[in-house]
């Protein structure tokens, strides 16, 4: 990764710059008038082995993820670095993270016209279909670029960006170099800044250069992709669309086919006080794009193709989460948020929030090139697909309803139900696995005692005849604001066909918050998913462990 | 060796921060309004009165609880202290389009911005949401809290009241 000597050299340069600045008062300013912010995060687990939940063997027992960011700002100048240590990485994170050092380092200058960054940076063009470099520590994703970024804002509303760099690959870099250009113009912000209507147009181009060392195929060394987008906001209406196209890019994820890729995302919404309606649709054909053609899983992604499905926050409705199929997928989502007015029959004294959501994902229609070539044969064009034509294999659906009601100042209830279809063969890549049809119901009761204490009970149930069968879950949480939280959870897989796998996934959590500091202690068995305990949400892998997490911001 | 050097850098930087006793001001970053206009955080303003800066996401249940709890008390808070709440959504492309309908349906009356590329989030060292800051009249960070538990909004208003009492 970044050689620590370079990190050191970088900081020495800054210090030298401070010391050599001619005016002593200015040098003093560099310290006095500067602003320093940052954070620390450390999570360490002790792993127990448990054959019933088939935990991975952890020979070192203890594993830890640690990082610290520090940002220095003085006038228009910014610098920052991040130290990371994975000793070794927690279960669920890629073992290639093992190691420690300065993983992120940048220098930046920002004024109202220019923004220049050298070193590591994150960036997104439009919705990120052809370029998105981002960081999500909970997911173990960090595909930051190392290189140069320039942003130019010549007019109010016009933003032009250019980047060149190599993406982070754990403690190394991508073999490919990415070049990108993006322009976005908010037309009415430039022409009439008082306008209540907004029209935005934008376009981007991204190209990857990677040497062709393949003995078998003659591969394109420069792979270009283009995207165009437009959006309109007016009087509560919002309409937005982005289309992207990429030249053929035989890669590990598309089985080395010489086919172009394309993707279309369309979203429309209407919002007014008490009502929000969202509709979105997408069509994706062979649009996986990475800064290395050999990369797989979540590594070195340039394209970001988000699922258009509801992101559930309760555990059991989030048990079978959909993942976009970049090689081909058509999907749609409709969601209505409605506030039943206060003091009405259904609304009650404080009003009731209702969310109704429906989403679906299908395959796209792929035709054979000819009678003798099967779809997706390496070294061929793979298949033909008529733009927008939906295939006949269903990947996913989710129909859900959630009601949120405040009964009194003290008592609140959330209740919901969902029906899901989950094509396990496609989404998890288990050929022949039976698709899961699940019905989930849940309720969340929250009762406040006095000014600061609160008791919350969650009850959830998932019923399915497939996969692991039925689940029941109960959570009890007691909090004393603003410092303490304590919770006990049990997820019980009582419906498993194999009676030995009818396991209680229990966990205990204790959290202490004081201003920017948070200390949490947890113990138990956890299955993969998004959990929210004591007010913090994050994604967790499955394990049987006891651990301590500490975080602070300064 | 590598670890020591790296830690050395961090501690060095830290020692600067401690010795300097500087104020932590609001970083300059570009965010977007809900109707798509690009705005610099340098334009955030409340005429010398305190600002609550709250990082949240549409998929984060505690965040929604916190904003709902504040919404119920917001008029009183504004009358008493003149405070303004600026809510920064860290929703990315997956859920950013949910923000507008959600905010409308809830009827929240705050100032909303989108930080889809997480530029402001990173600059302020925010790891998880909710993460709430209080800025004083000079837009310096004077208080922060990560997490929401029922009732912790009381701590916020207490901090704000003690802030406006100071000369």
What string of H, E and C letters represents the secondary structure of A383-436? CECCCCCEEEEEEEEEEEEEEEEECCCCEEEEEEEEEEEECHHHHCCCCCCCCE
- Res. B10: pLDDT tops 90: no
- Res. A14: pLDDT tops 80: no
| Interface list for B 8-37 with A (CB within 8 A) | 9-10, 12-14, 16-17, 19-20, 22-25, 27-28, 35-37
Task: Give the Cα separation of A48 and A547 in Å (integer).
Answer: 11
Give burial (CB, 10 Å; 0-12/13-18/19+) of A450. Answer: exposed
- Give the mean model confidence (pLDDT) for residues A445-461: 95
Tell me the pLDDT band of B32, cut-offs 50, 70 and 90: very high
Task: Give the Cα separation of A150 and A163 in Å (integer).
Answer: 6
- Res. B18: pLDDT tops 50: no
CA distance A35 to chain B (A): 5
Secondary element (H or E) of residue A31 = helix A24-32
- Give the mean model confidence (pLDDT) for residues A472-481: 96
- Res. A326: pLDDT tops 80: yes
What pLDDT, on the 0 to 100 scale, is given for residue A131? Answer: 97
CA atoms within 13 A on the CB side of A306: 23
- Res. A308: pLDDT tops 90: no
DSSP state of A341: P
Q: Tell the residue number behind the tokens 């409340």, with chain if given.
A: B46
Domains of chain B and CATH, by start: 24-165 (3.40.30.10)
CA distance B105 to chain A (A): 4
Average pLDDT, whole number, for chain A? 90
Q: What is the 3-state secondary structure (H, E, C) of chain B?
A: CHHHHHHHHHHHHHHHHHHHCCCCECCCCEEEECCCCEEEHHHCCCCCCCEEEEEECCCCHHHHHHHHHHHHHHHHHHHHHCCEEEEEECCCCCCHHHHHHHHHHHCCCCEEEECCCCHHHHHCCCCCCCEEEEECCCCEEEEEEECCCCCCHHHHHHHHHHHHHCC
The token pair that represents A176 in the structure block: 């490919």
Secondary element (H or E) of residue A24 = helix A24-32
Tell me the pLDDT band of A535, cut-offs 50, 70 and 90: very low
Contact A485, B149 (CB under 8 A): yes
Starting at the edge strand that comes first in sequence, how are the strands of the sheet with B38-40 ordered? Answer: B38-40, B30-33, B111-114, B84-89, B51-56, B131-135, B141-146
- Res. A453: pLDDT tops 90: yes
Q: Which residue has the higher pLDDT, A102 or A542?
A: A102
Determine, for residues B38 and A451 on separate chains, whether the beta-carbon distance falls below 8 Å: no
Q: Any idea where the domains of chain A sit in the sequence? A: 115-306
Q: Which residue of A has its CA nearest to B25?
A: A35
CA distance A102 to chain B (A): 7
Alpha carbon B46 to its chain's center: 14
Task: Give the Cα separation of A323 and A383 in Å (integer).
Answer: 23
- Give the mean model confidence (pLDDT) for residues A172-198: 92
What DSSP assignment string belongs to A105-126?
EEEEEE-SSEEEEEEEE-EE-T
Number of CB atoms found within 10 A of residue A105's CB: 22
Determine, for residues A446 and B38 on separate chains, whether the beta-carbon distance falls below 8 Å: no
What pLDDT, on the 0 to 100 scale, is given for residue A4? Answer: 46
Report in angstroms the alpha-carbon separations of A538 from A41, A535, B102.
14, 10, 21
CA nearest A165: which of A213, A114, A104? A104
Contact A106, A137 (CB under 8 A): no
Determine, for residues A535 and B126 on separate chains, whether the beta-carbon distance falls below 8 Å: no
Where is average pLDDT lowest: A390-399, A424-433, A515-524? Answer: A424-433
The dihedrals phi and psi of A343, each to the nearest 5 degrees, come to 60, 20
Determine, for residues A71 and B100 on separate chains, whether the beta-carbon distance falls below 8 Å: no
DSSP state of A342: T
Q: Tell the residue number behind the tokens 């396990």, with chain if given.
A: A424
Report in angstroms the alpha-carbon separations of A58 from A1, A32, A309, B9.
26, 48, 35, 32
Task: Give the Cα separation of B124 and B31 in Å (integer).
Answer: 14
Contact A512, A539 (CB under 8 A): no
Q: Does domain A115-306 have CATH number 2.40.160?
A: yes
Instruction: Flag whether residue B78 sits within 8 Å of chain A, measured between CB atoms.
Output: no
CA distance B157 to chain A (A): 12
Chain B residues inside the 8 Å CB shell of A157: 37-38
What pLDDT, on the 0 to 100 scale, is given for residue A5? Answer: 47
Q: Which residue has the higher pLDDT, A94 or A531?
A: A94
User: What digits encode the pLDDT tens for the residues B58-101?
Assistant: 989 999 999 999 999 999 999 999 999 999 999 988 888 899 99
ipTM at complex level: 0.89
Q: Which of A69, A129, A536, A540 to mutate to test binding with chain B, by most B CBs within 10 Å of its CB? A: A536
CA angle A376-A377-A378, nearest 5°?
A: 110
pTM given for the model: 0.91
Count how many pairs of residues, chain A against chain B, have C-beta atoms within 8 Å. 255
Q: Which residues fall within 8 angstroms of residue A426, CB to CB, at 6 or more apart?
A: A325, A363, A393, A395
- Give the mean model confidence (pLDDT) for residues A94-120: 94
Phi-psi map region of A486: left, alpha, beta (phi>0 left; psi -120 to 50 alpha): beta
What pLDDT, on the 0 to 100 scale, is given for residue A51? Answer: 74
Secondary element (H or E) of residue A132 = strand A132-133
Determine, for residues A313 and B59 on separate chains, whether the beta-carbon distance falls below 8 Å: yes
């Amino acid at each position: 990764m970044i050689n620590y000597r370079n990190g050191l050299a970088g900081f020495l340069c800054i210090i030298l710059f401070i010391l050599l600045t001619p005016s002593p008062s200015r040098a003093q300013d560099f310290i006095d008038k500067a602003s320093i912010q940052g954070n620390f995060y450390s999570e360490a687990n002790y792993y127990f082995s448990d054959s019933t939940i088939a935990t991975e063997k952890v020979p070192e027992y203890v594993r830890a993820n640690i990082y610290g960011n520090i940002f220095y700002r003085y006038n228009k100048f910014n610098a920052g670095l991040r130290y990371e240590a994975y000793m070794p990485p927690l279960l669920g994170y890629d073992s290639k993270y093992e190691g420690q050092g300065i993983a992120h380092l940048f220098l930046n200058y920002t004024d109202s016209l220019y923004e220049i960054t050298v070193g590591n940076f994150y960036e997104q063009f439009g919705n990120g279909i052809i370029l998105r470099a981002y960081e999500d520590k909970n997911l173990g994703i960090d595909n930051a670029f190392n290189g140069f970024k320039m942003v130019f804002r010549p007019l109010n509303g016009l933003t032009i960006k250019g980047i060149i760099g190599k993406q982070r690959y754990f403690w190394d870099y991508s073999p490919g170099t990415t070049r990108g250009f993006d322009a976005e113009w908010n037309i009415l912000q430039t022409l009439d800044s008082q306008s209540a209507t907004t029209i935005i147009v934008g376009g981007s181009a991204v190209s990857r250069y990677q040497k062709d060392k393949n003995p078998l195929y003659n591969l394109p060394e420069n792979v270009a992709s283009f995207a165009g987008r437009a959006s309109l906001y007016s009087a509560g209406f919002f309409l937005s669309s982005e289309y992207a196209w990429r030249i053929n890019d035989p890669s590990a994820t598309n089985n080395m086919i010489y086919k172009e890729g394309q993707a279309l995302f369309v979203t429309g919404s209407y919002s007014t006080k008490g009502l929000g309606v969202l509709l979105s649709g997408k069509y994706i054909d062979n649009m996986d794009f990475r800064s290395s053609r050999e990369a797989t899983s979540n590594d070195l992604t340039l394209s970001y193709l988000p699922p258009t499905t509801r992101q559930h926050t309760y555990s059991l409705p989030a048990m079978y989460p959909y993942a976009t199929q970049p090689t081909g997928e058509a999907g749609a989502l409709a969601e209505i948020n409605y506030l039943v007015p206060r003091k009405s029959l259904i609304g009650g004294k404080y009003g009731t929030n209702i969310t109704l959501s429906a989403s679906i994902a299908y395959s796209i229609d792929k035709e054979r090139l000819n009678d003798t070539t099967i779809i997706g044969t390496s070294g061929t064009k793979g298949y033909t697909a008529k733009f927008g034509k939906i295939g006949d294999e269903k990947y996913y659906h989710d129909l859900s309803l959630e009601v949120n009601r405040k009964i009194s100042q003290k008592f609140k209830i959330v209740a919901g139900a969902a029906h899901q279809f989950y094509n396990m063969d496609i989404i998890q890549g288990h050929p022949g696995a039976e698709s899961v049809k699940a019905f989930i119901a849940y309720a969340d009761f929250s009762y406040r005692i006095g000014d600061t204490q609160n008791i919350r009970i969650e009850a959830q149930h998932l019923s399915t005849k497939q996969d692991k069968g039925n689940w029941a879950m109960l959570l009890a949480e007691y909090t004393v604001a603003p410092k303490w939280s304590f919770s006990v959870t049990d997820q019980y897989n009582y419906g498993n066909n194999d009676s030995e796998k009818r396991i209680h996934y229990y966990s205990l959590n204790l959290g202490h918050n004081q201003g920017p500091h948070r200390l949490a202690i947890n113990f138990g068995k956890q299955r993969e998913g998004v959990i929210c305990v004591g007010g913090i949400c994050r994604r967790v892998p499955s394990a049987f462990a006891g651990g301590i997490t500490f975080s602070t911001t300064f | 060796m590598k670890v020591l050097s790296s830690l050395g850098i961090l501690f060095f930087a830290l020692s600067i921060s401690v010795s300097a006793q500087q104020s932590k001001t609001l970083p300059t970053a570009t965010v977007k309004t809900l109707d798509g206009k690009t705005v610099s955080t340098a334009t955030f303003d409340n005429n010398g009165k305190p600002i609550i800066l709250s990082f949240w996401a549409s998929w984060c249940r505690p965040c929604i609880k916190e904003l709902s709890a504040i919404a119920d008390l917001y008029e009183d808070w504004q009358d008493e202290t003149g405070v303004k709440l600026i809510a920064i959504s860290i929703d990315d492309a997956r859920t950013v389009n949910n923000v507008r309908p959600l905010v409308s349906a809830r009827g929240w009356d705050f100032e909303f911005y989108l930080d889809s590329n997480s530029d402001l989030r990173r600059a302020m060292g925010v790891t998880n949401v909710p993460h709430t800051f209080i800025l004083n009249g000079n837009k310096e960070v004077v208080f922060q809290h990560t997490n929401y538990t029922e009732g912790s909004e009381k701590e916020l208003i207490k901090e704000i009241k003690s802030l406006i009492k100071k000369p």
